Amino acid sequence: MSLEPRAYSRRLFLQRGATLASTVATIPWFVQNAAAGVMPAEGMGSSIPGVPDGRVMVIIQLGGGNDGLNTVIPYYADEYARLRPKIGVGAPGSNRPAGAALQLDEAAGLGLHPRLTGFKSLFDDGRLEVVQGVGYPNPNRSHFASMDIWHTGRSDGQGTGWLGRYFDNTCNGSPTPEAAISIGRRAPLALIGDVQKPVSFEDARLFRWKGEDLHPAMKAPYEKVVRAGLLDGIDPDSQAAYLMRTSLDAQISSDRIRTAVSRASNPGYPRGPLANQLRLIAAMIRDGMPTRVYYATLGGFDTHGSQLGSHANLMGQLGDSLKAFQADLEAQGSADQVLTMVFSEFGRRVAENGSGGTDHGTAAPVFLIGSKVRPGVIGDHPSLTDLDGGDLRFGIDFRSVYAGLLADWFKVDSASVLGTDHPPAHLLRS
Amino acid sequence: MAANPLAPIPERDFDYWSAAHLLRRAGFGGTPEVVQTLHAAGLDGAVDRLVEFTPTVDDGDRFDADIMRPRSTEENQVLAKARDRGDEATVERYRQDRQQRQRRDRTQLREIRRWWLERMIKTTQPLEEKMTLFWHGHFATGYRTVEDSWHLMMQNRLFRAHALDDFATLTRSIIRDPAMLQYLDGDQNRKGRPNENLARELMELFVLGEGNGYTEADIREGARALTGFTYVDDAFEFKKERHDAGRKLILGRRGAFNGDDFVEILLAKPETSIFLCEKLYRFFVDDRPGSPDAEGRKVVEGMAKTLRRSKYRLAPVLGQLFRSRHFHAPERRASIVKSPIQLVVQSIRELGTPIRDDRVLLEATDLMGQNLLQPPSVKGWDGGRSWINTATLFVRQNTLVYQLTGRSPGLDAERDGEAPEPFASERLVEHLSNDGPPDPDLVVDYLLRFTLGTTPHPDRRSTVRSFLRDVGDRIDRDRITAMLALITAMPEYQLA
């Protein structure tokens, strides 16, 4: 038998990926530590102490700064057309190079980007809530700094993530590794607490050891090594013990996640990175993962130049992917337990720039999607005449949005999580 | 049990495995040959070799200092005029120039990261680089706020120049360091409207330590002392007109203090030496939650005494620590969690794997939670258990597979490319054979002990031994590499 590393075969890869390890003998450490103290019947089903059973939040981050003014279109305002001669979208039924808006609220003169047909249909079905003019005081126009502010919920952008703190506060210091899952290479700061660390993976097939691809004989000894848990004679307070327990947890997470996503179906999803992420998330929700927050990202919104085509494509992808996701959730019967929030680190300046694009701005809409949202348009569109140095003034602090979701969706005291007393916005049906 | 845990171990107790332990902790480990050489130098010789060195003169000058230089007065005038006249083309040109510079600077930042990683991999003075990394985590400063890669390069040189030098000089230099002054708003700290950011962190995180008897009033007064400390382009400048020359009351002392006086006041507190030594202790000796324990506390106090006696020079403190019974006690072996950088650099220096693509390695350390020149906050990296979670464990294991085999941790491995550089793993066990092939039992024992840094658990030994039997019980390059892939996937491999 040779130990030459084999040529990498995709077929082999997929076969092995599907062969999952047998059930685990040892009770994993985080279940032992869970306040409930019992192992739920079906795996780790639904018991994260302090978290309402079954409620799931899906966060979608639009990276780069989405042009809110070309997402929800204030076609009523002359200023809009004047400041955006090249890229401004026209009123429904009008004829402009950037297209005509889809009707959202005729009385208010608001429409959706022409490619947001997916959102339009969610809106018509009472599944879409538009929260207008969301921002924060002293807006920071650096992508990183503003993203950190959104992720931490703090004006200085320092410290732990807002959802990380939520898990820290509610889970009594026993982190449940799968409580938060992000699809991507890097775990977003929003999900990182002092104790809570999210699981993140770009592709579930990679959330496993690659060494087993070297030779078929490697898998069995690997499994033995990483699933052994705490070996006898090891000081339970040592770093070695901590690593042995975490290693076992990692294997269990990997099994569960790969089992779930291997069953992902795909009716009706468009192509594209966001749809792929949402498809996996829907599959994990269907499989009853104990996960309470999923995180997906779509990048490319930093549209400084010639934005008409690129932004339109992003809008199409966003709307179509979310429409398919919601339909998938309804079909699998989990729509009532899932709430989706879409945000970006900032909007863009009101006036277009000289290159047919827009520069970094401030307030922008946040979208909530699900069967429990208060459908419609919340808040006033920021004024296009009363600007702050060419930028919109925010109407709703994003921390009020967080507070509303924490209070009404996760049923926790939002002030203790956010560390600020922003009044919770009334966002969900009561 | 000896009364003084900082007393040196007897020379006869300094064996090959003690030398390996020393080299891992004081540096990034070394191949069997390097460990052998260090062992042959004896305890004093080995410690001196690590601790006594002349600071390196680096070749960082090849980086461009001017990418993010401020606009000249003339340029500012042109831009202001263009704005007044509504000359959009000129304004747009300036805007694009700025954007282009930012892109170039981010590229240079990546180059500086690669440059530093390579230094850690290749240096003959490993403690110098390890202390540079320690100071980077201690006086943590990140690119996102600084946005000038050259300033971070300058700061990196400062850390290296004072790696084991005295902490007082380093602290006086850091309050003059442009990257730090930018990071903690030194530029905004002016008479009449002090910005407390730098003063607060000097108290809380850098010098005195949280809870060591200072008040909010001390922070405010310290901030007044630091007013006027700023920088212009790449150089420190004390702007007298911004300095508050009035009298201050800091930690019970009164005077018309400036920034240097403020630092002196903090250094005069005995708590400062304890605070710094505790941090060094957690970095070099024991990073468990609650560290230092009772004996560790005694060690820290002994270190602090040495530090005060040496006027804050670190070399005597670490020299004493690295000789000590406490440091060499069996329970210290393989007991602290490798930082991502330690994991990557140590595996190259110790196993002798090819370096492979350093950009992939830097990406991997970032995914493991350590992005050089971008610590998560002014607190630096928490270290210890915070490095380890279910996601980072797979990244760690897969990064080692990449280093051993050249197979990328991403899906890219599916693409056909050039054959990766082979890893001559047989060199690790060369010294075990006399004539003919080495004994498989001996090889398994040695590989486990050398790679894990301590006597392996019997279960681990039997797993690796029976794997070798299953694949033909022969010792050759592929089998050694395969065994290493297994060993580096063991939870204990994350320990140093």
The second-level CATH assignment, the architecture, of A55-207+253-418 is 3-Layer(aba) Sandwich (3.40)
Q: Is the peptide bond before A198 cis (omega within 30 degrees of 0)?
A: no
Rounded to two decimals, the pTM is 0.84
Q: Does A426 touch chain B (CB under 8 A)?
A: no
- Examine the pLDDT at A151 and tell me if it is beyond 90: yes
pLDDT digits (tens, 9 = 90+) for B221-255: 999 999 999 999 999 999 999 999 999 999 999 99
The burial class, CB within 10 Å (0-12 / 13-18 / 19+), for A309 is: exposed
Rounded Cα–Cα distance for residues B72 and B80 (Å): 12
Which distant-in-sequence residues (6+ apart) come within 8 Å of B251 by Cβ?
Answer: B213, B214, B218, B265, B266, B269
Residue-level pLDDT at B407: 82
Residue that the structure tokens 């106090």 belong to:
B301
Q: Which of A12, A58, A55 is nearest to A341 (CA)?
A: A58
User: Element (H or E) spanning A297, and its range?
Assistant: strand A293-298
Integer CA distances (angstroms), A290 to A58, A206, A281, B178, B448, in order: 14, 21, 12, 47, 37
Cβ burial, residue A339 (10 Å; 0-12/13-18/19+): buried
Which token pair is A400?
Answer: 């009020």
pLDDT in tens, B413-436: 444 567 889 999 999 999 998 888
Residues in chain A, overall count: 430
Query: DSSP string of B429-463?
Result: GGGG-SSSSPPHHHHHHHHHHHHHSSPPPHHHHHH
pLDDT at residue A3 above 60? no
Show Cβ contacts of residue A67 under 8 Å, excluding neighbours closer than 6 positions. Answer: A301, A303, A307, A311, A347, A348, A358, A364
Residues of B in contact with A246 (CB under 8 A): 388-390, 393, 491
Chain A interface includes B470 (CB < 8 A): yes
User: Does residue A173 surpass a pLDDT of 80?
Assistant: no
| Nearest residue of B to residue A201, measured between CA atoms | B391
Confidence of residue A352 (pLDDT cuts 50, 70, 90): very high
Q: Give the residue-averaged pLDDT of A258-283.
A: 91
Please state which of the ranges A354-358, B20-24, B160-164 shows the lowest mean pLDDT.
A354-358
Both structure tokens of A48: 């994260």
Q: Does A24 touch chain B (CB under 8 A)?
A: no
Domain map (residue ranges) of chain A: 55-207+253-418
Q: Are A94 and A330 in contact (CB under 8 A)?
A: no
A29, A247, A257: best to mutate for the B interface, most B CBs within 10 A: A247
Summarize the confidence of residues A85-103 as an average pLDDT.
Answer: 95
Q: For chain B, give the mean pLDDT.
A: 94
**pLDDT tens, B159-192?**
999 999 999 999 999 999 999 999 999 988 999 9
Angle between helices B314-323 and B294-309 (to 10 degrees): 140
Name the residue among B402, B411, B485 with its Cβ closest to that of A218. Answer: B485
Cβ-contact B32, B351 below 8 angstroms? no
Give the distance, in angstroms, between the CA of residue B241 and the centroid of all CA atoms in the same chain: 38
The confidence score (pLDDT) of residue A176 equals: 75
For tokens 């700025």, the residue is B98
Q: How far apart are CA B441 and CA B366, in angstroms?
A: 38
The verdict on a CB contact (< 8 Å) between B394 and A249 is: no
Strands A128-135 and A364-369: antiparallel
Answer whether B485 sits within 8 Å of A211, measured CB to CB.
Answer: yes
Q: Contact, B163 vs B132, CB < 8 A?
A: yes
- The predicted pLDDT at position A19 comes to 28
Whether A237 and chain B come into contact, CB under 8 Å, resolves to: yes
| pLDDT given at position A47 | 47
Whole-angstrom Cα Rg for chain B: 25
> CA torsion A313→A314→A315→A318, rounded to 10°?
130
pLDDT tens for B336-364 read 999 999 999 999 999 999 999 999 999 99
DSSP at A365:
E
Distance CA B98, CA B69 (A): 10
Kindly tell me if the per-residue pLDDT of B326 is higher than 90.
Answer: yes
Q: What is the pLDDT of residues B275-305, one digit of tens each?
A: 999 999 999 999 999 999 999 999 999 999 9
B210 touches chain A (CB under 8 A): no
CB spacing of B367 vs A211 below 8 angstroms: no
| Residue A274, pLDDT above cutoff 80 | yes
Indicate yes or no: CB of A240 within 8 angstroms of CB of B463.
Answer: no
Report the pLDDT value the prediction gives residue B111, as an integer from 0 to 100.
98
Structure tokens at B480: 């050694």
Taking every pair of C-alpha atoms in chain A, what is the biggest distance, in angstroms? 77
B83: how many CB neighbours lie within 10 A of its CB? Answer: 13
**A198 and chain B in contact, CB less than 8 A:** yes
Q: What is the dihedral of CA A237, A242, A243, A244, to 10 degrees?
A: 90
For residues B134 and B278, is the Cβ–Cβ distance under 8 A? Answer: no
Please give the backbone phi and psi of residue A224, each rounded to the nearest 5 degrees, phi first: -60, -45
Using the Cβ of B421 and the Cβ atoms of chain A, whether some distance falls under 8 Å is answered with no
Find the DSSP H helices in A193-306: 219-226, 239-262, 273-286
Q: Where are any strands of DSSP class E within A11-101?
A: 56-62, 72-73
Strand partners, A295: A59, A182
Instruction: Choose among B381, B384, B387, B368: nearest CA to B138.
Output: B381
User: What residues have CB less than 8 Å from B484, skipping those under 6 apart?
Assistant: B351, B404, B425, B447, B451
- Per-residue tokens: B382: 């928490």
Q: How confident is the model at residue B58 (pLDDT cuts 50, 70, 90)?
A: confident
Mean pLDDT lowest among A15-19, A193-197, A314-318, A397-401: A15-19
Relative to beta strand A56-62, strand A338-344 is parallel
SS3 state of residue B405: helix
